[in-house]
């Protein structure tokens, strides 16, 4: 008896049927995919895509999902931006559910920075043991959010609990 596939979720607006079909095809090979068309949530962005993957962001995910398939997903995300042009045209969330959940937000204005951010998501794997060290990370953190900083060309992370916001800087978590 086969075990049921894990469920990935796609929330979106402003995505063409072709773009959605390609993404669905890439994910459907590994997950059961649920689609959730959304009304426009972000006034500045005519397109939004929220990909929720029911696995932790770690090396095991990439070994299981496959580097080739992941490369195709990244290529599609970059193509979405290219087709929409520069400016506030698309906002993408990529969510990995683990402990803590890891969320990447990509909403850069320039295509070249957008592409760089997508390409560098994989590099964050090398930083996780330092940034998410249980001895350093604030208690009761559920979500860790990565946003790409164009000035440094790196993914920066922050998080918040019910009362505080934290940023990771100089190899430690700091209350802001």
d(CA 137, CA 110): 32
Q: Say if 147 falls within a structural domain.
A: yes
Q: Say if 2 falls within a structural domain.
A: no
Q: What is the pTM of this model?
A: 0.91
Q: Say if 98 falls within a structural domain.
A: yes
Look at residue 149 in the predicted model and tell me its pLDDT.
Answer: 93
Q: Say if 132 falls within a structural domain.
A: yes
Query: Alpha carbon of 66 to those of 26, 48, 71, 115: distances in Å?
Result: 11, 25, 9, 20
Helix (H, G, I), strand (E, B) or coil at 133: coil
Q: Say if 18 falls within a structural domain.
A: yes
Q: Say if 123 falls within a structural domain.
A: yes
Tens digit of pLDDT for each residue in 92-136?
999 999 989 999 999 999 999 999 999 999 999 998 888 888 888
Q: Say if 129 falls within a structural domain.
A: yes
* Token code pair at residue 156: 């920066």
Look at residue 165 in the predicted model and tell me its pLDDT.
Answer: 82
Q: Say if 140 falls within a structural domain.
A: yes
Q: How many domains does the chain have?
A: 1
Tens digit of pLDDT for each residue in 45-92?
999 999 999 999 999 999 999 999 999 999 999 999 999 999 999 999
Range of the domain at 70: 7-175
């Amino acid at each position: 008896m086969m075990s049921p596939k894990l469920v990935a979720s796609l929330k979106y607006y402003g995505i063409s049927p072709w773009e959605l079909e390609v993404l669905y095809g890439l994910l459907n090979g590994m997950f059961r995919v649920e689609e959730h068309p959304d009304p426009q949530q972000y006034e500045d962005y005519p397109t939004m895509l929220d990909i929720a993957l029911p696995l932790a962001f770690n090396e095991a995910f990439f070994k299981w999902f496959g580097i080739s398939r992941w490369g195709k997903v990244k290529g599609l995300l970059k193509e979405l931006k290219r087709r929409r042009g520069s400016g506030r045209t698309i906002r993408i969330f990529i969510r990995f559910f683990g402990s803590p959940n890891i969320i990447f937000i990509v909403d850069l204005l320039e295509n070249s920075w957008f592409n760089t951010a997508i390409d560098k998501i994989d590099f964050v794997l090398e930083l996780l043991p330092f940034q998410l060290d249980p001895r350093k990370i604030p208690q009761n953190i559920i979500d860790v959010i990565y946003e790409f900083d164009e000035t440094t060309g790196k993914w920066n992370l922050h998080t918040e609990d019910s009362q505080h916001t934290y940023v990771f800087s100089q190899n430690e978590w700091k209350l802001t």
